[in-house]
């Protein structure tokens, strides 16, 4: 498929050509990277809220009086719970390279941290010398309203999350271009991270000056924008919520809510941080929450997750064919619980998005109307997530003085649940939308791709070995995306596997993905998003392991070329961690297994080449398989001291051997008579290169027959 290009005429006859595919790929990667630190906010937000609740005497009584052990414990917990909110810029600066750097992400994180701190030191130095020139009173204490902030104990411009993201993006740009630059030997100390940081050091000088020049004006503009949004009242809440919801299919909704919830769009530091910081004040005041913090109306966008999603699920269930209602309930119940409790809505939304896009538009309209209606009734708060956030950050700590507000919220919310149900039911029946339960197909089928991948994994691991469903999904998704060679890069957000492919024409239809367990597929040219659900981090891990695995193509193609090791001696098989020798049990020689032998002949566990024979003692043999797997077979513990007595080596280095071919004959009785253990150990010395290696232990193996490892 040809990439789309847009041509722009520039003054002077020059033409600028923009590749829309490349833009979309970069936006997708950036959006996914943005979510890396955001996933931490829910837990820490809950912990802050619980700390405030348990320090509130109105809720827990005298137990929470200052000076008590109970108060002291929760005070300490609260200090730790503020970590991600107090250090948000640092968190974003450190986290973005995880999703944006193309290689060596850990080093990129370190580089980003150093360069970001250097940037702030430069800003501090410039403002110390020439603050008035830039319109900044640097003598003020850092804090709200001064335009200054403390970052890593540096008084600097309050650029917040946006500045951290920009500096981190610059660092990633430098990292991707300079990390692998090969310098002459005499400059070798400056290779890799040193070169990236050195370049960033000098680049930050003009960047810091530029920010000192423009940021005070931007801060003024942000303040004006904040006042505009506050004055926009319910209309602003409606527009914001509609945009946030309608962009869900594209994955660009992060760019809508992040500046509001975690950035300066409404208030410095973001709505959630401000709400938690003032939660104790709200909890002890009978003033209207809307009067105290009207900006929190922009955090009502999660209301549809609690009240709207159940109405949609009920409508889909009600319109399903009678014989399919049970199966549909099995699909809808976990997806609805996930949305209502955790605030993750994609698993349910994508059940109808592709079969009836109009329904999603209606959903966005109703979600916006619900948020605006609640706001007009005086409801505000931290409602961006699901029921957990609603209960812990709002209802429990604030119910004493704001019970009327929350009763109104629940009544209005449940009314919209009914509206959702009747509107969706009407539209589904009127337009005969093929939502789950209304088609002639089974609701969960094995696709051809899934069947092939399952059989391939069974062939490698054995039919009696239970296959992890996440392994299967990763293999199917890889094949459906065009295979290993069609993947350019991969990242993820909370629910989506975000992939850039080389040729988007090789990506299979959405049904291939949904039948394998995905909730949907979004394609924007070469930028592809597989809607996986909350298991996406584990799926991505397995997906990337398949990309790195030398045998990945065999897994997804269903061939029989997978690496398989058979027992090299008969006997009881144990994990290598149980070998009574730290060199092996600590996996210093690699992961593997060991056998307490019942026979006295060691054979080749697979086809390969002998790379090493321990001359003189004959107690160890090394092998390399065609797949690249490297093995060490070690007979006995400390048997090198026997100086070859009781060992008869039948191969030599460089010799090609077949599976089952004799390698070493040993005298088990003699080994034990001389006081040594005769245990035979097989270590995969490069096991770290095979994250999908499966080892079998605990059984009594039969030489040349029992499978002990697959790759």
Identify the three-state secondary structure at position 359: helix
pLDDT at 175: 92
pLDDT at 456: 52
How far apart (Å, rounded) are the C-alpha atoms in residues 584 and 588?
6
pLDDT at 26: 59
- List the CATH number of the domain containing 646: 2.70.70.10
Question: Percentage of the chain surpassing pLDDT 70?
Answer: 86
274 and 422 co-located in one domain: yes
311 and 329 co-located in one domain: yes
Average pLDDT over residues 30-55: 75
186 and 156 co-located in one domain: yes
Q: Which of 109, 243, 342, 493 is flagged as catalytic?
A: 493
Predicted confidence (pLDDT) per residue in 415-444, tens digit: 999 999 999 999 999 998 888 888 765 444
Identify the three-state secondary structure at position 274: helix
- List the CATH number of the domain containing 475: 3.30.1360.60
Is residue 333 a part of any domain in this protein?
yes
312 and 208 co-located in one domain: no
Is residue 321 a part of any domain in this protein?
yes
50 and 25 co-located in one domain: yes
Q: Residue 16's pLDDT band (boundaries 50, 70, 90)?
A: very low
Strand partners, 529: 498, 522
505 and 577 co-located in one domain: no
Domain that holds residue 663: 564-710
Is residue 351 a part of any domain in this protein?
yes
Predicted confidence (pLDDT) per residue in 133-166, tens digit: 998 889 988 876 678 888 888 999 988 778 888 9
Q: Tell me phi and psi for residue 496, to 5 degrees.
A: -120, 135
420 and 502 co-located in one domain: no
Is residue 441 a part of any domain in this protein?
no
More confident residue, 570 or 384: 570
369 and 418 co-located in one domain: yes
243 in catalytic set = no
> By the 8 A CB rule, do 126 and 136 touch?
no
Identify the three-state secondary structure at position 596: strand
How far apart (Å, rounded) are the C-alpha atoms in residues 469 and 216?
53
How far apart (Å, rounded) are the C-alpha atoms in residues 425 and 315?
5
Of 534, 557, 580, the last residue of a domain is: 557
Element (H, E) at 196: helix 193-246
Domain count, the chain: 5
Pairing of strands 496-501, 487-492: antiparallel
pLDDT at 254: 66
Beta strand residue intervals within 106-246, DSSP E: 148-151, 154-157
pLDDT at 562: 53
Predicted confidence (pLDDT) per residue in 161-182, tens digit: 788 889 999 999 999 889 888 7
pLDDT at 444: 44
104 and 192 co-located in one domain: yes
Put residue 208 in one of left, alpha, beta given phi > 0 → left and psi -120 to 50 → alpha: alpha
Q: Tell me phi and psi for residue 224, to 5 degrees.
A: -65, -40
Of 20, 96, 43, 93, the C-alpha closest to 491 is: 96
Provide Rg for the chain, Cα atoms: 31
350 and 320 co-located in one domain: yes
More confident residue, 11 or 55: 55
How far apart (Å, rounded) are the C-alpha atoms in residues 519 and 345?
11
Q: Residue 539's pLDDT band (boundaries 50, 70, 90)?
A: confident
- DSSP letter, residue 154: E
Q: Tell me phi and psi for residue 306, to 5 degrees.
A: -85, -40
Of 56, 86, 116, the last residue of a domain is: 86
390 and 514 co-located in one domain: no
| Interaxial angle between packed helices 357-376 and 396-431, expressed in degrees from 0 to 180 and rounded to the nearest 10 | 150
Predicted confidence (pLDDT) per residue in 628-684, tens digit: 888 999 999 988 889 889 999 999 888 999 999 999 999 999 999 999 999 999 999
| Interaxial angle between packed helices 160-178 and 105-130, expressed in degrees from 0 to 180 and rounded to the nearest 10 | 130
Average pLDDT over residues 687-707: 82
Is residue 201 a part of any domain in this protein?
yes
**pTM score:** 0.57
Is residue 442 a part of any domain in this protein?
no
Of 398, 431, 464, the last residue of a domain is: 431
How far apart (Å, rounded) are the C-alpha atoms in residues 172 and 176?
6
Is residue 244 a part of any domain in this protein?
no
Is residue 238 a part of any domain in this protein?
no
Average pLDDT over residues 304-323: 93
Q: Tell me phi and psi for residue 483, to 5 degrees.
A: 90, 170
Pairing of strands 564-566, 520-524: unpaired
pLDDT at 251: 62
How far apart (Å, rounded) are the C-alpha atoms in residues 277 and 392?
14
422 and 452 co-located in one domain: no
């Amino acid at each position: 498929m040809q990439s789309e290009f847009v041509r722009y005429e520039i003054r002077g006859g020059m033409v600028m050509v923009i590749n829309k595919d490349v833009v979309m790929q970069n936006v997708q990667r950036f959006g996914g990277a943005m979510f890396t630190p955001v996933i931490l906010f829910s837990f820490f937000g809950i912990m802050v809220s619980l700390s405030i609740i348990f320090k509130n005497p109105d809720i827990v009584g005298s137990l929470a009086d200052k000076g008590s052990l109970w108060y002291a414990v929760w005070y300490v917990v609260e200090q730790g719970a503020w970590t991600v909110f107090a250090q948000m810029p640092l968190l974003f600066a450190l986290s973005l390279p995880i999703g944006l750097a193309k290689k060596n992400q850990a080093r990129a994180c370190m580089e980003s941290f150093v360069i970001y701190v250097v940037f702030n030191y430069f800003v501090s130095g410039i403002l110390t010398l020439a603050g008035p020139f830039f319109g900044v009173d640097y003598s003020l204490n850092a804090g709200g309203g001064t335009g200054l902030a403390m970052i890593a104990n540096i008084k600097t411009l309050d650029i917040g999350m946006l500045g951290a993201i920009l500096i981190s993006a610059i660092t990633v740009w430098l990292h991707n271009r300079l990390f692998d630059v090969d310098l002459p030997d005499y400059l070798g100390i400056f290779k890799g991270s040193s070169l990236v940081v050195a370049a960033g050091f000098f680049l930050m000088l003009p960047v810091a000056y530029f920010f000192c020049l423009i940021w005070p004006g931007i801060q003024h503009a942000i303040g004006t924008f904040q006042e505009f949004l506050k004055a926009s009242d319910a209309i602003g809440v409606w527009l914001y919520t509609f945009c946030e919801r309608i962009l869900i299919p594209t994955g660009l909704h992060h760019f809508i809510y992040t500046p509001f919830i975690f950035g300066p769009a409404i208030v410095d530091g973001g709505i959630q941080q401000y709400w938690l910081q003032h939660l104790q004040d709200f909890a002890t005041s009978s003033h209207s929450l809307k009067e105290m913090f009207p900006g929190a109306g922009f955090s009502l966008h999660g209301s549809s997750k609690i009240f709207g999603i159940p109405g949609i699920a009920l409508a889909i269930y009600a319109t399903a064919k009678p014989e399919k209602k049970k199966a549909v309930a099995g699909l809808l119940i976990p997806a609805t619980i996930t949305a209502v409790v955790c605030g993750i809505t994609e698993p349910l939304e994508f059940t109808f998005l592709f079969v009836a896009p109009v329904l999603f538009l209606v959903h966005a309209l109703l979600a916006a109307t619900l948020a605006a209606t609640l706001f007009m009734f005086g409801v505000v708060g931290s409602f961006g997530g699901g029921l957990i956030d609603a209960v812990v950050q709002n209802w429990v700590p604030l119910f004493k003085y704001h019970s009327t507000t929350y009763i109104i919220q629940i009544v209005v919310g449940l009314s919209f649940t009914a509206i959702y149900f009747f509107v969706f039911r009407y539209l589904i029946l009127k337009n005969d939308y093929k939502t789950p339960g209304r088609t002639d197909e089974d609701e969960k089928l094995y696709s051809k791709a899934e069947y092939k991948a399952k059989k391939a994994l069974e062939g490698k691991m054995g039919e009696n070995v239970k296959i992890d469903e996440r392994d299967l999904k990763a293999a199917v998704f890889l094949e459906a995306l065009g295979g290993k060679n069609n993947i350019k890069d991969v990242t993820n957000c909370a629910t989506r596997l975000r992939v850039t492919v080389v040729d988007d024409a090789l990506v299979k239809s959405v049904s291939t993905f949904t039948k394998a367990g995905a909730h949907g597929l979004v394609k924007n040219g070469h930028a592809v998003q597989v809607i996986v659900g909350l298991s996406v981090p584990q799926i991505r891990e397995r997906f990337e392991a398949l990309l790195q695995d030398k045998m990945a193509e065999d897994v997804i193609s269903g061939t029989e070329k997978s690496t398989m090791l058979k027992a090299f001696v008969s006997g009881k098989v144990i994990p290598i961690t149980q070998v009574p020798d730290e060199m092996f049990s600590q996996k210093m020689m690699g992961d593997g297994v060991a056998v307490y032998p019942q026979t006295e002949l060691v054979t080749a566990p697979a086809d390969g080449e002998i790379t090493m024979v321990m001359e003189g003692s004959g107690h160890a043999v090394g092998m390399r398989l065609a797949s690249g797997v490297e093995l060490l077979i070690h007979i006995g513990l400390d048997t090198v001291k026997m100086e070859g007595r009781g060992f008869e080596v039948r191969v030599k280095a460089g010799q090609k051997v077949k599976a089952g071919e004799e390698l070493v004959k040993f005298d088990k009785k003699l080994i034990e008579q001389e006081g040594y253990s005769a245990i035979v150990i097989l270590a995969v010395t490069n096991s770290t290169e095979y994250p999908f290696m499966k080892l079998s232990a605990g059984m009594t193996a039969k030489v040349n027959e029992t499978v002990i490892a697959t790759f």
